[in-house]
Amino acid sequence: MPSIIWFNEDGLNPEHQMFKDYPDAVRVYVFDVPYLKQWKISKHRVQFIYESLLEIPEIRIYQGETVPVLTQLARELKVNEVVTTETPNHIIKNWQQELQQNINLVTYPEVYPVLDTSSPRRFSRYWNKHDRAWLKA
């Protein structure tokens, strides 16, 4: 089944499980300029996103409004589903809901380097406990 893996700014992990589950999927990121301008995303954040994308093999980077770009790309590639990650970002969640109206959307949970349910009193204690795990990620 042909698929697209759509990377959003909260899910740029090149080691994510969805790569293993969808090894032949087209890998896509959309720089949504109206979104970037509306939310005044800094050039440093844009640079971080771009550099993170360069670590993803065979990534296709597009510019435009996310939903129309993905919808058109899905039509052109005759894709049955779009695979992506969860996000706390309400705008990206709205895009996901909009996409679901026209195409099957598979949403994976985002994977964080360390899952810790404790509530550290100070960040330094947290960092001292978990810094090695972050460095291995």
Q: Which domain CATH number covers 12?
A: 3.40.50.620
Q: Are 52 and 45 in contact (CB under 8 A)?
A: no
Q: What is the pLDDT of residue 137?
A: 47
- Domain count for the chain: 1
Give the residue numbers spanning the domain of 112. Answer: 3-136
Q: What is the pLDDT of residue 127?
A: 56
pLDDT, average across residues 21-34:
95
3-class SS of residue 37: helix
**Which of these, 120, 122, 107, lies nearest to 11 by C-alpha position?**
107
pLDDT, average across residues 125-137:
56
Q: Are 113 and 134 in contact (CB under 8 A)?
A: yes
Q: Which residues pair with 29 in a beta bridge?
A: 7, 61
Distance CA 26, CA 29 (A): 10
DSSP code for 120: -
Indicate whether this model's pTM tops 0.85.
no
Gyration radius (Cα) of the chain, Å? 16
Q: What is the pLDDT of residue 23?
A: 94
Is the per-residue pLDDT at 73 higher than 60?
yes
Using 50, 70 and 90 to split pLDDT, how confident is the model at 9?
confident
DSSP code for 109: P
What is the maximum span of the chain, computed from C-alpha positions, in angstroms?
52
Mean residue pLDDT of the chain comes to 85
